[in-house]
Structure 1
Amino acid sequence: MEMGLIGGSLFQIGQVVLSRKGKDAGKWYVVVKIQPEDNRIFVSDGDKFPVSKPKAKNPLHLQGTRWVIEEVAQRIARGEELDKGRLQYLLSHVREK
């Protein structure tokens, strides 16, 4: 599983995060890619930003949570496609907790 220390915070693929800044403040996402060399975290919500076209965020604008969606992490690690409906379902299930 890919992890990266960016902006003083540790993020990992499949981790549920909350946007703290920008037009999308308060929105929940899942980390789908980490680029420490560019200081960017790529996130997906399964709707406007599917896994195939994730949103690039500054890690300082994200708040990590303790939740990691293992299914997402495993599928990305294997290079498998992740259906946007399935990602929305998994993310909504975590948010309900």
Structure 2
Amino acid sequence: MNESDSTPRIGQIVLTKKGRDTGQYSVVIQQLNERFVLIADGDKRKFDRAKRKNISHLHLYDYVSPEVQSSILETGRVTNGKLRYAISKFVNECINDEKKGD
């Protein structure tokens, strides 16, 4: 795996692989350093109380929400509604498509 694949991007959808929130989808809202990011889902994990997560405990999807990314880059924050929308859009478009292919 090359470096660009393992570097999370703002607005990227991730799936938690370890910890209390295993199996939860979240959005990367900030990169803290090369090992940690802040994630939030707009529901249980609001933007203001983002969770610090080790990147190795996350499955990074090759999907970045343009709405979330532009909002954070322009204003430094994003609404919880936008986070929820980004996750549900991703799950409906990408995950359900994978399941249909089975």
Same-fold call, TM cutoff 0.5: yes
Distance in 2 between the 1:9 and 1:81 partners? 23
Could you list the runs of 4 or more consecutive aligned residues of structure 1 that deviate by over 3 angstroms after TM superposition? none
1:11 equivalent in structure 2: 8
1:55 equivalent in structure 2: 51
RMSD: 1.7
User: How much has 1:9 moved relative to structure 2?
Assistant: 1.7
- Alignment of 1:34 with 2:31, yes or no, is yes
Q: Which of the pair is proportionally richer in strand?
A: 1
Q: Which of the pair is proportionally richer in helix?
A: 2
User: How much has 1:80 moved relative to structure 2?
Assistant: 5.0
Unaligned runs of 5+ in 1: none
Which of these residues, 63, 69, 74, is aligned with residue 65 of structure 2?
Answer: 69
Distance in 1 between the 2:77 and 2:31 partners? 17
- Determine what percentage of the aligned residue pairs are the same residue: 33
User: How much has 1:55 moved relative to structure 2?
Assistant: 0.6
Counterpart code for 1:74: S
Distance in 2 between the 1:43 and 1:50 partners? 9
- Alignment of 1:44 with 2:40, yes or no, is yes
Distance in 2 between the 1:81 and 1:12 partners? 15
